[in-house]
Every structure is written in structure tokens, then in C-alpha cells.
Amino acid sequence: MISRKVGSLVILGLIVACTGQAIAHGPELDYQGGRVVAFTSSLLGDGTAIYEDEFAFGFTNLGWQALPTALGGGHLTIGSTIGLTVHDSAPKFKLATPQFLFFHDGTSFADPGSASLRILGTTATMSKGGANFSDLPIGDVFGPDDFHDHLGVLLQNGSVGVYGLLVSNTSTDPAVADSQPYYLVINNDLGPAGYSKALADLNATSIPEASTVGMLGTGLGVVGLVRFGRLLFSRLRSNSFAQVA
């Protein structure tokens, strides 16, 4: 899957670790320290990873694959099934009631209403009230670094804006813990200015404590405000990634 990007992205608190390892395809998965680890191109200010995609006529084809070379001396368990779980994002947004699918209309966060995301070929759906699944199977690990599967996602009753989920990847191997939660953010026809505002507002909900900022700055460094054009962001993704520890 090739993810198309809206030009002029703004991500506050972006952290980039340059390693020469390319992010070629969606979130890339690995095994480290007894758990699934998800790698994306960037992190928000509190260290939560974010992966961006875009609807085309209300459809997107989310994909995950194994990291080509395992870091830390491990691999995803051969024969295991990698899954997807959606989490309540209400604590992030300081909401009193659970909210699983969140929405930004280009100006501010708003009620997603009756909008839902349906996984094609299944009965699985995701709405603001929740997801009717946990540990939804994505695909099987057939060998070392041999994992690459997709979920076709259809937006139903949607509006122009950005839809997002807080998710984690799971493994059917009971000895392997879930990945840390990360964001899937999918743009639905929102222009560059509105999309940039949505990302900035998402980051504003993810400001870490001062002590956390110091810890992050020691190991990786923090770029306060980074603007990317389409070409620059593409080049960055081809030469860097950020790790969800």
C-alpha cells in the first residue's frame, strides 16, 4: 500500500530517529522485549506513535508488515496470528464517556455522529461507541520477517474531516504482549490547512510532563514545529522511523 499524503503537514513535538531503516509500508511490526513493537514515521509529543493514511472515495487499504531486519535479536512468532484491537481514546481527550472513533472537522474535534469504519469482508465495525471486536485477525506470520497483510476499510456516514483510532497490535502467542497503543489517522478529503490543524490539535492533547520531555530529549531530541511538503515528508520516511518502545 502506498499512502498518499496531504502536502504541508504540521506535527508538533515530532521525534525522528535516523537509522537508515526505511519505512516502506504502513506500520511495521517487530518483536522486542517480550512484546509486539509497532514502528511508524513519527511520534506525538507524549511519545505516542501516529500513522497517517487517506480515504479515496470513502475507502482505504490499511496494511502492516514485518520489519525486514529484526532489531533486538527477535522475530514475530512464526505461526502466530497478528491482530488489531481498538482502544477507548476518551482519556486522551479528557472525555467523561468512552469514545473509540474520533473526528476532527478541520477546525476542532467534533462528534463523529453516526459515522463508522467497516472492515470489508467481515462484520467488524468501529464507531464512536466502540468496536464490535477485540484482537481482530490481520494475518499470519509465515516465517522470520514474513508478515504482510491488509484490512480494507470503508467509511460509512462520514463527513469531510479526519477520523482517528487508538489501536494496538496483538499476537496469538500468549508469551508475546500487545504493542503499545498508537494512532491511526485517516484523512477524508480535508485540505492541507485543515489537516495540519487536526494534527496540531491531536498533538496538543498529547503534551507530556516536563520530566518526560527531558527523558525524550536525552535519547532522541524534539523538534518543536516541523513543516513538511509532500516531497520532503516522502524523503524523510524513506530514511527514518520512530519506535514505539
Q: What is the pLDDT of residues 129-175, one digit of tens each?
A: 999 999 999 999 998 878 999 999 999 999 999 999 999 999 999 99
pLDDT at 185: 95
Per-residue pLDDT band at 93 (split at 50, 70, 90):
confident
Task: Output the average pLDDT for the chain.
Answer: 77
Of the chain, the percentage scoring pLDDT greater than 90 comes to 54
pLDDT for 192 beyond 80:
yes
The sign one gets for the Cα dihedral 31, 36, 38, 43 is: negative
pLDDT for 212 beyond 70:
no
Find out whether 29 and 169 touch, Cβ atoms under 8 Å. yes
Per-residue pLDDT band at 69 (split at 50, 70, 90):
low
Measured in whole angstroms, the distance separating CA 170 from the mean position of its chain's CA atoms is 14
Cα→Cα distances 195→38, 62, 187, Å: 24, 19, 7
- Provide the CB-side half-sphere exposure for 181 (13 A, CA): 16
Question: Residue 97: is it exposed, middle or buried by C-beta count within 10 angstroms (0-12/13-18/19+)?
Answer: exposed
Average pLDDT over residues 111-137: 95
* Rounded distance between C-alpha atoms, residue 85 and residue 172, angstroms: 12
What are the φ and ψ backbone dihedral angles of 70, each rounded to 5 degrees? Answer: -65, 135
Measured in whole angstroms, the distance separating CA 88 from the mean position of its chain's CA atoms is 14
pTM, to two decimals: 0.75
pLDDT for 188 beyond 80:
yes
Find out whether 167 and 181 touch, Cβ atoms under 8 Å. yes
